[in-house]
Amino acid sequence: MTRGFGKKKWPGINRRGLFCRVMERNAATTASGAKAFKENDKDDEAENEADGRKPAETGATDDKIKCPKCGKLVDKKRVAKRRYVCPECNGYFRVSTNARIRMTADRGSFEEWFADVKPVNPLDYEGYEEKLSEAREKTGLREAFTIGSCRIFGEKAVIGICDARFLMASMGSVYGEKVTAAVERATQEGLPVFLFCASGGARMQEGILSLMQMAKTAAAIRKHGEAGLLYATILTDPTTGGVTASFAMLGDVIMAEPGALIGFAGPRVIRQTIGQELPEGFQSAEFLVEHGFVDGIVKRMNVRKTLYFLIKTHERRRSGSFAEFANAGERFVLSEILKEKSALQAPVSAWEKVKAVRRVQRPSALDYAGYVFDHFVESHGDRLFGDDPAIVGGIAFLDGQPVTVIADVKGSTMKECQMRNFGMPRPEGYRKALRLMKQAEKFGRPVISFVNTSGAFCGIEAEERGQGEAIARNLMEMAGLKVPVLCILIGEGGSGGALATAVGNEVWMLENATYSILSPEGFASILWKDSSRAKEASEIMNITAQDLLRLGVIEKILPEYGGASEQTAEAIAGNLKDEIKAFLQGFDGMSGEEIAERRYARFRRY
C-alpha cells in the first residue's frame, strides 16, 4: 500500500504545556479506545450536574455562586455544566470528590478501595475527633482522600482524589495509609495510578506521625515505578506542604490545572519569613511549568482524554516489538517533480552547506514531525530548575507505536529564535531530554532524537548550572538506554552540544546537514588565528554527511530532494517516516541489554 500526503499543519506547541490541544484526537483515534470514547463522550454533559451540596463560597445563593477568581456571582447550573469553570473569567472552582469522579471515570465504573479504614487520633489530641466528625458531616466523606479503580474510555486505572473541603485535605495517618495501600494494590494488579492532588499540608493534630506519611507514600510510589507502571499526578488548587513534598511531585508525568496554587511553603509563610512581597503569578501552575517542575497545564474539560492518552502511551509492550505499527504496509511515494529536481541537483560545497543549514527558513524538527508522527504531546521541564525551549521533548505516536521525541529547535522568526536561544541548549534542556529518555526506557518506548544546534549555550548562567556535567551525564546515560535510540542530524551538529543528544544505535544525516567538532569560524580562529578563513576551514574539516559516512561516524544519508525547504519538507518527512519504521523493525525480539550493548560497541570502535 502507498501513502499520499496532503498539507498537514503540526499542532502549535505552547510554552505553557497545554496538553489539551491534541487530546481529543488522541482519545478518539487510538483504535482500542475509539468505541469507548464515542460512547462516553455522549455522557459528558450529563456527568457535570451539580454535586448536590451547597458550596461554601461566601456570597452563594440557591442559584448563584461566587467565583473565587473574579468575585462575580454566576449561575450554578452553568458553572456545573462547564465542569466548575467560571463562565465570566474561566477561573477554576474547587471540585468535590463526587464531581471529580464523574468527570474522570466512565459512568458507574468507579469502585472505592479501603473505604473502611477507621479514623484514628494517635496523639489523643483534644477536640480532634470532633473536628473529624464535623468534616465528615459537612462533606459526606470518611476522609480527605478517596481512591479506587475505574475505567477511563474502557481502560482500567486507579484514581485518587484529595478533597480540600475535608480539613483542607491535610494528610494524616489514615490519609497516608489509603494512598500507600492503594499504590501497593495497583502495583500488584499492574495498574496505572492517577492522583488529583490538593492539600494544605500535614495534619497538625497528628504531629510527627503525619510527617511519616510523606516517606511512606514516597516509598510505595518507588515500588510502583520499579514495576514499570505509570504514576501521574494532577495538581489542583491548592497543593502545598507535605503533599507537595511527597506524592504530588513524584509523578512520571506531573500535570496541573490552570492557575492552581502549588508550593511547599504557603505564600503567607514565605512573606513572613523573608519580609518581601511575592511577584505576581508566584507559585502558580504556570510558574511551575516555566521553572521546570510540571510537564504541562491540562484544562479540566480535557482531563479524561489526557489520562486515556497517557495510559495508551505508557503501556509496557509485551510482544518484544518496538514496531507495532497500525499501517505497516504503507510506503511513501516520491513525486515525479521531486525525482527530476533531485536528479538535476548540482554538487554543493561544504561551505554552501554550512550556510544552508543556518538559514532560518530551513525546516525544523517540528515541521518534519507534523508529517512523521500521528500525534505529539510536549512535556516541559527538567524537574530541577527550568524548562529550556531550545530542546523540545515529548511523546508521539508513529503509526500507532508510542515513541519519545527529542528535538533541538532554533526558531523560525526572530522572536521565536530569541525565545529558544537560537537552538543553543542550556543545562536544563539537556536534563529535560535525559529525563524523558529515561522515562522512555522505563516504559519501553524507542527514542527519536532530531539534532540541529550550533552548540551548547556558552554563558555565565550555563556554567553556574553545570553545562559540562549535563552534557557528560547525557553521554553516559544515553549509552546505556535499553530501548532503540535513533539520532538524525537535520541541520547543524555543533560539537558536544550536538553529541549530547546524538548517542544512538544509529546516527543519520540529511544530505546537506553538517556535524563538526566546532564551527568553521572557531576552527579557523583556534588553528590559524583568523576566523575569516572559515570557508577554507569548512572544506578540510570533514563536516558533511558524505565525509562522515566515509569515516563511519554515521550510518545513513537521507535525501533532501533538491534542498530542505517548505516545498520539500513533506517529502523529506515521508521518506524519513519509512526509514524510521524500518529501523525500529530491526530491533524486534531484541532484549534491552542487547540494544544497549550494540550502542556501546558502535561508539567503542572510534
Instruction: Decide if 49 is inside a domain.
Output: no
User: Is 293 found in the same domain as 393?
Assistant: no
User: Is 299 found in the same domain as 414?
Assistant: no
User: Is 83 found in the same domain as 63?
Assistant: yes
User: Is 490 found in the same domain as 546?
Assistant: yes
Please tell me the pTM assigned to this model.
Answer: 0.89
User: Is 453 found in the same domain as 554?
Assistant: yes
Chain position carrying cell 525525482 = 339
Using the 3D structure, point to which of 266, 294, 313 is the last residue of a domain. Answer: 313
What is the predicted pLDDT for the residue at 315?
87
Tell me: pLDDT of 108 over 70.
Answer: yes
Residue 341 pLDDT grade (very low, low, confident, very high; cuts 50, 70, 90): confident
User: Is 145 found in the same domain as 60?
Assistant: no
For strands 401-408 and 375-379, give the pairing.
Answer: unpaired
- What is the Cα–Cα distance from 478 to 486, expressed in whole angstroms? 11
| Amino acid letter, residue 302 | N
User: Is 462 found in the same domain as 544?
Assistant: yes
What is the predicted pLDDT for the residue at 559?
94
Sign of the torsion formed by the C-alpha atoms of 318, 320, 323 and 325: negative
User: Is 548 found in the same domain as 410?
Assistant: yes
Please check whether residue 444 is in contact with residue 584, taking contact to mean a CB–CB distance below 8 angstroms: no
Please check whether residue 151 is in contact with residue 308, taking contact to mean a CB–CB distance below 8 angstroms: no
Peptide bond before residue 238 is cis, with ω within 30 degrees of 0 = yes
Instruction: Decide if 191 is inside a domain.
Output: yes
- Residue 92: closest CA among 68, 123, 71: 68
Among the ranges given (33-42, 333-342, 488-497, 561-570), the one the predictor scored with the smallest mean pLDDT? 33-42
Average pLDDT over the chain reads: 89
- The pLDDT tens digits of the residues spanning 507-534 come to 999 999 999 999 999 999 999 999 999 9
Instruction: Decide if 10 is inside a domain.
Output: no
- What is the Cα–Cα distance from 436 to 406, expressed in whole angstroms? 8
Instruction: Decide if 4 is inside a domain.
Output: no
List the domain range (segments joined by +) for residue 221: 20-43+96-313
- The pLDDT tens digits of the residues spanning 145-162 come to 999 999 999 999 999 999
User: Is 39 found in the same domain as 59?
Assistant: no
What are the φ and ψ backbone dihedral angles of 556, each rounded to 5 degrees? Answer: -155, 145
Q: What is the CATH number of the domain that holds 201?
A: 3.90.226.10
Count of the separate structural domains present in the chain: 3
Share of the chain above pLDDT 90, in %: 81
Please check whether residue 145 is in contact with residue 169, taking contact to mean a CB–CB distance below 8 angstroms: yes
User: Is 360 found in the same domain as 279?
Assistant: no
What is the predicted pLDDT for the residue at 60?
59
User: Is 432 found in the same domain as 366?
Assistant: yes
Please check whether residue 309 is in contact with residue 23, taking contact to mean a CB–CB distance below 8 angstroms: yes
- What is the Cα–Cα distance from 173 to 182, expressed in whole angstroms? 14
- What is the Cα–Cα distance from 165 to 159, expressed in whole angstroms? 18
What is the predicted pLDDT for the residue at 59?
54
- The pLDDT tens digits of the residues spanning 277-333 come to 899 899 999 999 999 999 999 999 999 999 999 999 998 766 678 988 888 777 888
- Residue 518: closest CA among 340, 272, 354: 354
- Residue 248: closest CA among 358, 326, 169: 169
Structure-block grid coordinates of residue 378: 510536549
- The pLDDT tens digits of the residues spanning 195-239 come to 999 999 999 999 999 999 999 999 999 999 999 999 999 999 999
User: Is 276 found in the same domain as 371?
Assistant: no
> Residue 272: which H helix or E strand, with range?
helix 267-274
- What is the Cα–Cα distance from 81 to 93, expressed in whole angstroms? 12
- What is the Cα–Cα distance from 151 to 157, expressed in whole angstroms? 6
> Residue 539: which H helix or E strand, with range?
helix 534-540
